[in-house]
Amino acid sequence: MWLKVSTYESRFDQLNRGQLPRLIRHVQKAWAAGRVRIREAPSRKAEKREREDLASVFVKGTYVSGCNHSKYRPKLYEDLGLWRGTINIQLPAETDGRFLIPNERVPGRDPIDADQDFLIRPCKLKGVVGYQILPIDKVTGDARGHHASKKIEISLKKEIELRPDEVIEVELQGFDEATV
C-alpha cells in the first residue's frame, strides 16, 4: 500500500516501528488542513501494461563465481522475494555500459549494508524472473559493484543450475524505447 502526502511518499512495510505514529499524525494534520487528495492507485493491469511498454535488452556472458556476500544480506533477498545468492556474469568488453546500471533504488537493510543501497532492474534468466543488483554508496550514489569491469550480478526468485564458465543470456527489462 502506497501513501503520498504532498511530496512525502513511503511504503508502509518499509517504515520503522517508530515512524508509523509520526506518519499518521502528519496525515491527520494535512487532512484537517485540506491538503490531502485521495486518488485511486493504478490497477495491477495498468502497471503490467506500463511494464510491457518498456523494452528489454539481451546480454550474453559467462557465469563466474562471486565473493559470497549474499550470505550477509538475508533482508535484501527476503524483501525482494528472491532466492538468497547472486549469479555473477562476466560480459564481453564491448557491452554497452548504459545497460549495466539498473534504474530502481532500494535501501540496504542488513548490517553489512549500513553505508550502501542497491540499484535493481527486473530481469529473466533461463525463464526465471529476478533482478539485476548493483550496490551503490548510500550518500554519493556511486556504484560499488563490478560494472566497470563489465560484470553484472543477478538474483532470481528460485535457484537454477549453472556450470562454471557456462555461457548464458540474460534479459534485462524495463528500458525506455529511446535507450535501446
Question: Would you state the pLDDT for residue 15?
Answer: 54
Q: Which domain does 117 fall in, by range? A: 54-175
Number of domains in the chain: 2
- Verify that 130 and 66 share a domain, yes or no: yes
Residue type, 18: G
- Verify that 85 and 165 share a domain, yes or no: yes
Going by C-alpha positions, the residue among 120, 124, 133 that lies closest to residue 171 is 124
Residue 148: give its domain's CATH number: 2.40.30.30
- Verify that 86 and 108 share a domain, yes or no: yes
Q: For residue 24, what is its C-alpha cell?
A: 499518521
Question: Would you state the pLDDT for residue 35?
Answer: 66
Q: 73 to each of 37, 108, 138, 146, how far by Cα in Å? A: 38, 9, 16, 18
- Verify that 67 and 32 share a domain, yes or no: no
Confidence of residue 44 (pLDDT cuts 50, 70, 90): very low
pTM of structure: 0.68
Quick check: is 73 in a domain? yes
| Backbone region of residue 75 per phi and psi (left: phi > 0; alpha: psi in -120 to 50; beta: other values) | alpha
Share of the chain above pLDDT 90, in %: 33
Quick check: is 125 in a domain? yes
Q: In which element (H, E) is residue 9 found?
A: strand 8-11
Residue type, 25: R
Average pLDDT over residues 25-30: 73
- Cα gap 59→109, rounded to integer Å: 29
Q: For residue 172, what is its C-alpha cell?
A: 534485462
Quick check: is 48 in a domain? no
- Verify that 58 and 132 share a domain, yes or no: yes
- Cα gap 177→122, rounded to integer Å: 16
- Verify that 134 and 163 share a domain, yes or no: yes
Least confident of 5-14, 111-120, 153-162: 5-14
Instruction: Render pLDDT for 60-87 as a digit per residue (tens, 0 to 9).
Output: 999 998 776 667 678 888 888 998 888 9
